[in-house]
């Protein structure tokens, strides 16, 4: 049981929940048990660089001690999960009673966190066309986790569930009603991250807040009384502000031009907009903000422009949401860029002082998606008893 640390006394089998947070090239996880006030981590970690030759595995104990830190090649999410499961069992000699899965998109019918059943899996397969990059991967990972942990209850925590409070004025695109009725609308994502921030601030969360989750995938959310009333991502996580490799919102005419003049089909468009655009496209091949900042300081104009375009997009959304909310009480930055790039935060809030955004209203807090998944699972276990 080495490495469990301060939570050793809490490791009864019925306490353990495994939270899985799947990204495009990473798999983050946490093993949690029920503490006196909140979910307590026994182990946290991630498999990074999935599908690349520079992969790594990092696992930490509750007290922050490094249990595993090694370079390794992860062929797929499933391979990474298998390796994580093996390593987890080396330190915790019991299986989780529940596994929580972050599912980015559930389509128009799966809009709340819930137990994964055969019917839920069928609905998820039927919604594949809403998120062809995300749902097939989620289905494979769920199937693998169910095979590895067959005795556990498996729950789906949907990233767009938090945004179900968005009114039609914000969720509807300017298209004929038929398309809205068939599910073409603003769903919004990073909801589990935003839920974790709402949980953190609790009763101290003021009436008018803006959350900015800035990372390789980036979005912002306007909240009134802790409820989402608007967000930047739309039908898919490609929409909104420019991101690491995603374009964000485009003039629809750009798509028509690419179809007609560049002869791109749907698959090539998808690759361009999700993997070759954003900071990556603007800088001719670099999406890491830290590297771009270093290059910009060295005089690289292309890198400086990419960062300026990104920060300006964030600033425009913050200003717009301040107008929507009728003022601002709190802005929270989270995510890898939001937490660690002072340059982006400074650029994204520059000039908004005149609108009432003072320094004391700007906070930085790390997202706790895995812990939030565990919280939902604990609640759902109680509901399904």
Question: pLDDT digit string (tens) for 67-91?
Answer: 888 888 888 889 889 888 888 888 8
Residue with tokens 């090649």: 73
In this structure, are residues 270 and 133 in contact, taking their beta carbons and an 8 Å threshold?
yes
pLDDT of residue 62: 86
Residue with the larger pLDDT of the pair 197 and 22: 197
Size of the chain, expressed as the number of residues it contains: 385
Question: Residue 182 falls within a domain, yes or no?
Answer: no
The residue range of the domain holding 19 is 5-158
In the chain, the N- to C-terminal Cα span, in Å, equals 29
Q: Sorting pLDDT into bands at 50, 70 and 90, what band is 163?
A: very high
DSSP type of residue 8: G
Q: Sorting pLDDT into bands at 50, 70 and 90, what band is 191?
A: very high
Q: What is the mean pLDDT of residues 156-175?
A: 98
Alpha helices (H) in the chain, listed in sequence order: 77-91, 118-126, 135-148, 168-171, 177-181, 191-201, 252-260, 266-275, 278-282, 289-297, 301-325, 335-340, 342-349, 369-383
Spatial strand order in the sheet of 330-334? 227-231, 218-224, 208-214, 330-334, 362-364
Residue 295 above 90 pLDDT?
Answer: yes
Of 51-60, 265-274, 307-316, the one with minimum mean pLDDT is 51-60
Q: What is the mean pLDDT of residues 145-163?
A: 97
Same-domain pairing of 23 and 78: yes
Q: Could you give the percent of the chain with pLDDT greater than 90?
A: 80
The yes-or-no answer on residue 48 being catalytic is no
Residue with the larger pLDDT of the pair 48 and 110: 110
Same-domain pairing of 106 and 214: no
d(CA 92, CA 102): 23
pLDDT of residue 13: 46
Question: Residue 65 falls within a domain, yes or no?
Answer: yes
pLDDT of residue 14: 54
Per the DSSP assignment, residues forming a β-bridge with 25 are: none
Residue 6 above 80 pLDDT?
Answer: no
Same-domain pairing of 59 and 142: yes
User: What one-character-per-residue DSSP string does 281-302 give?
Assistant: HHTTS---HHHHHHHHHTT-HH
Same-domain pairing of 120 and 256: no
Q: Could you give the percent of the chain with pLDDT greater than 70?
A: 96
pLDDT of residue 251: 98
Token pair in block for residue 289: 């903000």
Same-domain pairing of 213 and 357: yes
Token pair in block for residue 169: 């004025």
Question: Residue 170 falls within a domain, yes or no?
Answer: no
Cα 381 to Cα 22, 102, 146, distances in angstroms: 22, 16, 17
Same-domain pairing of 137 and 210: no
**Number of other residues whose CB lies within 10 A of the CB of residue 217:** 23
d(CA 202, CA 260): 51
Residue 93 above 90 pLDDT?
Answer: no
Catalytic residue among 15, 48, 53, 159: 159
Question: Residue 48 falls within a domain, yes or no?
Answer: yes
d(CA 314, CA 94): 45
pLDDT of residue 64: 85
Residue 9 above 80 pLDDT?
Answer: no
Question: Residue 16 falls within a domain, yes or no?
Answer: yes
Q: What is the mean pLDDT of residues 330-358?
A: 97
Q: Nearest Cα to 87, choosing from 103, 67, 107?
A: 67
CATH number of the CATH domain containing 153: 3.30.420.40
Domain boundary among 140, 158, 176: 158
Question: Residue 296 falls within a domain, yes or no?
Answer: yes
Q: What is the mean pLDDT of residues 26-38?
A: 93
Residue 3 above 50 pLDDT?
Answer: no
Same-domain pairing of 338 and 273: yes
Same-domain pairing of 134 and 38: yes
Same-domain pairing of 154 and 14: yes
Same-domain pairing of 332 and 267: yes
DSSP type of residue 37: S
Domain count, the chain: 2
Give the helix, strand, coil percentages of the chain, each rounded to 5: 45, 20, 35
pLDDT in tens, 195-248: 999 999 999 999 999 999 999 999 999 999 999 999 999 999 999 999 999 999
Q: Nearest Cα to 74, choosing from 46, 52, 45, 44?
A: 52
Query: What's the chain's average pLDDT?
Result: 93
Question: Residue 190 falls within a domain, yes or no?
Answer: no
Looking at the chain, the number of H-run helices and the number of E-run strands are 14, 13
Cα 131 to Cα 7, 87, 189, 204, distances in angstroms: 38, 31, 12, 35
pLDDT of residue 164: 97
Same-domain pairing of 357 and 233: yes
Q: What is the mean pLDDT of residues 178-183?
A: 96
Same-domain pairing of 136 and 238: no
User: Using CB atoms within 10 A of its CB, is residue 84 exposed (0-12), middle (13-18) or buried (19+)?
Assistant: buried
Question: Residue 372 falls within a domain, yes or no?
Answer: no
The H-or-E segment that residue 341 falls in is none
Spatial strand order in the sheet of 17-22? 66-71, 56-61, 39-48, 26-34, 17-22, 98-103, 153-158, 114-115
Residue 11 above 70 pLDDT?
Answer: no
Domain boundary among 158, 189, 214: 158
Domain boundary among 158, 185, 212: 158
């Amino acid at each position: 049981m080495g490495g469990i640390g301060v939570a050793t006394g809490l490791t009864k089998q019925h306490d353990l929940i495994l939270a899985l947070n799947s990204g495009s090239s990473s798999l983050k996880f946490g093993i949690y048990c029920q503490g006196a006030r909140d979910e307590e981590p026994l182990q946290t970690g991630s498999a990074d660089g999935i599908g690349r030759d520079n992969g790594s595995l990092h696992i930490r104990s509750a007290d922050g001690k490094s249990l595993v830190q090694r370079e390794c090649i992860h062929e797929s999410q499933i391979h990474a999960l298998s390796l994580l499961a093996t390593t987890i069992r080396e330190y915790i000699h019991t299986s989780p009673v529940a596994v929580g899965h972050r599912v980015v998109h559930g389509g128009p019918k799966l809009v709340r966190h819930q137990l994964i059943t055969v019917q839920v899996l069928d609905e998820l397969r039927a919604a594949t066309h809403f998120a062809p990059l995300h749902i097939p991967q989620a289905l494979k990972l769920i199937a693998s986790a169910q095979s590895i942990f067959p005795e556990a209850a498996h729950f789906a925590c949907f990233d767009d569930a938090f945004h179900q409070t968005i009114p039609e004025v914000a969720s509807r695109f300017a298209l004929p009603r038929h398309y809205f009725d068939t599910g073409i609308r603003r769903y919004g994502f990073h909801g589990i991250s935003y839920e974790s921030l709402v949980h953190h601030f609790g009763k101290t969360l003021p009436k008018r807040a803006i959350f900015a989750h800035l990372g390789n995938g980036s979005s912002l959310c306007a909240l009134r009384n802790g409820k989402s009333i608007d967000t930047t991502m739309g039908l898919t996580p490609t929409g909104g502000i420019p991101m690491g490799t995603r374009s964000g919102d485009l003039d629809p005419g750009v798509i028509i031009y690419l179809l007609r003049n560049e002869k791109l089909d749907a698959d090539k468009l998808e690759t361009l907009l999700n993997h070759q655009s954003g900071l990556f496209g603007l800088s001719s091949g670099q999406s890491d903000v830290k590297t771009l900042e270093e290059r910009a300081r060295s005089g690289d104009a292309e890198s400086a422009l990419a960062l300026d375009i990104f920060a300006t997009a964030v600033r425009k959304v913050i200003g717009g949401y301040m107008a929507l909310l009728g003022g601002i009480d709190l802005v929270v930055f989270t995510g890898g860029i939001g937490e660690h790039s002072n340059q982006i935060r400074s650029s994204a809030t520059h000039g908004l002082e005149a609108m009432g955004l003072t320094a004391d209203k700007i906070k930085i807090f790390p997202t706790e998606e895995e812990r939030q998944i565990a919280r939902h699972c604990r609640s759902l276990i109680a509901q399904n008893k």
